[in-house]
Structure 1
């Protein structure tokens, strides 16, 4: 610090004494360290001879960082432009954080302290100036957020009155747009995705230009009238828009979005697993059909009708299980359509069991009921045995036969009823069950795996076999 300059300026512009000048020179030697430690520009001013304005005697600033491009030492500080300096010189009071603008147009805060001589007279001022650009920006942001928070509250109130379920927005990203599609509010999640996507802050930006290829706010609302999925930076988001209407006019909109990347990834994994499972069912079906084909070859090598009959029954059972896997290979593996499965088994038995001379009318009646896959195999075997029983012991010797399978759901119970117009058995039905392996299989499967019951009776010249079991069980909930 050039003390000679300070002395010269004091002699030229002020009425300070020699002792006063020495005090100011000593003070000037200390301010560089203070400026470096505080990160502020520091000045020493002294009052002019007129007692109103002041002259800048010294200036210190942090290394490589100052509010000024050029030195202001020797320039006048007019009372009209430096009111805090004038006040301190007049009253000796300290002025703190007085806001103003530097000569470079930078917003600053001044703290002005009086410099006194031993007689307690004010001989100058020590001025500390700091850049408050960031503070002002934050204050403006707080003010802006206060206004937009109030606007958002009104928005949510509007949506609640119109029935929109904004409670589902918890955890969502939210943008609020004005009628010009400018972003007036964002929460943290929305701010982050916009920053990551565009590389700058979202507030004040045109949402249409930044995020979507829409030319107007109305077009955006049409696009997002229903939840729409968009991919941004390799992530999937579900966007939805809600219009804001003030006095009948569109005043903006609220856009809510949520990250569904994990959901889509799990769906892809599930789809891949489902494909693998369907392929497994397809291969199991093929293997069962191969087993059935081998049994047919073996059956043809026998000349005994009883052996052929047993082979045929076993083949039909294997084919019925194969049909279950065929259904699973083409459809959802979690459930099975009981009516479709029954129709497949009936068609296969008609092809294999009916002689060319016969005319058999066979039908499956009832609604499409979907049952848990865990019940599919026992049901297929039960249906196969019931229909096989009607073909083999009911209509086998009739020229015109009738077989029906009715599927009914009532009070949580599934009822499968097979009717045929075959002759009345020669023995009681209890003994019929004991003599026929197929009916023993039905009795076992219905009781042990389906948790139901099985009965046979003769009604109006028809043999009626009914299987009843609960739709829901501990082994397989729908």
Structure 2
């Protein structure tokens, strides 16, 4: 790449300039460091050399920064530069002096900050110029905005100071307490809400012209801050206020401050109550989970102590239902952001893994996988979903792979229009409806229709069985 650049420099210089071989070699030495210069300064850099006629210059090398956005969309090597558009470059050619931070237009019409330094050859003759350009269009835009903001601030200051001296234009019925104080911190204006604040919080008669800090001594430090805008929460007599201090400036001189008090006491109290409720709800969820696990432990203990063989299957089913509900609360407690939302895929995965991998299935190898978008459901409905999924996966484990050495279960969650669809597929022997539905399928049907306002279908296919559960997003309180 460097060799190609060197060849380009030599070719352009030989075709368009009167530079000697030694001069061209000097230009090539600078080109070797061109990319490093561009990266270091986060700017586009170029080398221009004057043509034989000395009327124009030609770009013989360039480098765009890899550390910042390039000013140019297209390469400019081989293009001519004209004095009309590049006065700084030709100034350096004529005088041998550098120019820094000159505002110019790029060849693509962008506003740039341009610096030019000469490249000296034999006897310090200028043989080229090293040019650095940075895009300043955004900087100029921000400066324009700042200027407009400064003008607006001056206008506001004049209005507010005039309001303190004459008739106020701010409505007297405004709820916030407003003060205008001069640079010596003396009150020049206050609205009725501000006067009431003084009477209520300070138990003193309000007096215009009095020091603001005589009423609010704990705010003296904030009042003396030089910042144009200060926003802080402050305590006044066990009440919480948001205090805004806006500097009033006229002709670049500080003329005082505009102070606004907003009572946040009720808002902060509600936030505190909400925090207490959140902690209480979390504690309730924790206790429910512990109680369910206690019941599960009692069932396991009973099973270990011995139960009739024909009852064992019912104990296992009941145990799995209890643990499925407990899974809902485990996920809620693991979610630090929202104490009442349960992510569906995580819930289904937890239940499925418990049913498939925690027990020996008479020597069968059963695998299960899950897929679907990240969707959340409220905890009260998550309990119903957990029971439904428990029954469907348990049904696959118990009945789908009779006389088969291995089996595969797939659970797919889909978001369809304004509903959630859950598909539970297996590659087993296929579904055969019984004259009397099992308790598990009755639970599924009841939960879906009554709790989730959805519908349920199960059918056999050439590849096994597919159970489909669908329920609306709105009733489920789902969020993305």
Question: Given the two structures, how large is their TM-score scaled by the length of structure 2?
Answer: 0.55
- 2:268 corresponds in structure 1 to 264
Residue 440 of structure 1 deviates from its aligned partner by 1.6
CA distance in 2, matches of 1:356, 1:211: 77
Alignment partner of 1:383 is 2:386: no
Residue 448 of structure 1 deviates from its aligned partner by 1.3
Query: In 2 relative to 1, CA 184–330 (structure 1 residues): closer, same or farther, beyond 3 Å?
Result: farther
Match of 2:195 among 178, 185, 191: 191
Secondary structure at the aligned position of 1:171 is classed as coil
Query: In 2 relative to 1, CA 184–477 (structure 1 residues): closer, same or farther, beyond 3 Å?
Result: farther
Match of 1:411 among 417, 420, 444: 417
* 437-446 or 239-248: bigger deviation: 239-248
Residue 239 of structure 1 deviates from its aligned partner by 3.0
Residue 456 of structure 1 deviates from its aligned partner by 1.8
Residues 4-403 of structure 1 aligned to structure 2 (within 5 Å): 147-148=163-164, 153=169, 170-178=174-182, 183-194=187-198, 196-197=201-202, 201=206, 203-204=208-209, 205=211, 211=219, 213-214=221-222, 216-219=224-227, 221=229, 223-224=230-231, 228-242=232-246, 253-302=257-306, 305-329=309-333, 331=335, 332-355=338-361, 359-394=365-400, 399-403=405-409
For the Cα contact (< 8 Å) 2:174–2:193, is it kept in 1? Answer: no
CA distance in 1, matches of 2:381, 2:437: 26
Residue 220 of structure 1 deviates from its aligned partner by 6.5
For the Cα contact (< 8 Å) 1:172–1:257, is it kept in 2? Answer: yes
Query: In 2 relative to 1, CA 277–180 (structure 1 residues): closer, same or farther, beyond 3 Å?
Result: same
Residue 361 of structure 1 deviates from its aligned partner by 3.9
Aligned length: 314
Secondary structure at the aligned position of 1:455 is classed as strand
Q: How big is the alpha-carbon RMSD for the aligned residues of Structure 1 and Structure 2?
A: 3.9
Residue 318 of structure 1 deviates from its aligned partner by 1.0
Residue 449 of structure 1 deviates from its aligned partner by 1.3
Residue 438 of structure 1 deviates from its aligned partner by 1.1
Give deviations 1:340-379, integer Å, cap 9, x for gaps: 3223322322343455965544333223322233312211
Query: In 2 relative to 1, CA 147–283 (structure 1 residues): closer, same or farther, beyond 3 Å?
Result: closer
Query: In 2 relative to 1, CA 175–318 (structure 1 residues): closer, same or farther, beyond 3 Å?
Result: same
CA distance in 2, matches of 1:393, 1:202: 87
For the Cα contact (< 8 Å) 1:241–1:254, is it kept in 2? Answer: yes
CA distance in 2, matches of 1:468, 1:184: 67
For the Cα contact (< 8 Å) 2:375–2:478, is it kept in 1? Answer: no
Give deviations 1:409-431, integer Å, cap 9, x for gaps: 23221112222222323x2xxx2
Structure 2: stretches of 5+ with no match in the other structure: 1-159
CA distance in 2, matches of 1:325, 1:390: 25
Query: In 2 relative to 1, CA 279–423 (structure 1 residues): closer, same or farther, beyond 3 Å?
Result: same
Alignment partner of 1:455 is 2:457: yes
Moved over 6 A (4+): 247-250, 475-478
CA distance in 1, matches of 2:400, 2:220: 70
CA distance in 1, matches of 2:256, 2:327: 58
CA distance in 1, matches of 2:317, 2:303: 11
Secondary structure at the aligned position of 2:449 is classed as helix
Residue 387 of structure 1 deviates from its aligned partner by 1.9
Question: Given the two structures, how large is their TM-score scaled by the length of structure 1?
Answer: 0.55
CA distance in 2, matches of 1:179, 1:339: 62
CA distance in 1, matches of 2:296, 2:240: 49
Residue 454 of structure 1 deviates from its aligned partner by 0.6
- 1:441 corresponds in structure 2 to 443
Secondary structure at the aligned position of 1:422 is classed as coil
CA distance in 1, matches of 2:365, 2:333: 33
Secondary structure at the aligned position of 2:358 is classed as helix
- 2:26 corresponds in structure 1 to none
Query: In 2 relative to 1, CA 214–151 (structure 1 residues): closer, same or farther, beyond 3 Å?
Result: farther
Residue 233 of structure 1 deviates from its aligned partner by 1.7
Query: In 2 relative to 1, CA 278–362 (structure 1 residues): closer, same or farther, beyond 3 Å?
Result: same
- 2:93 corresponds in structure 1 to none
Residue 287 of structure 1 deviates from its aligned partner by 1.9
Query: In 2 relative to 1, CA 259–460 (structure 1 residues): closer, same or farther, beyond 3 Å?
Result: farther
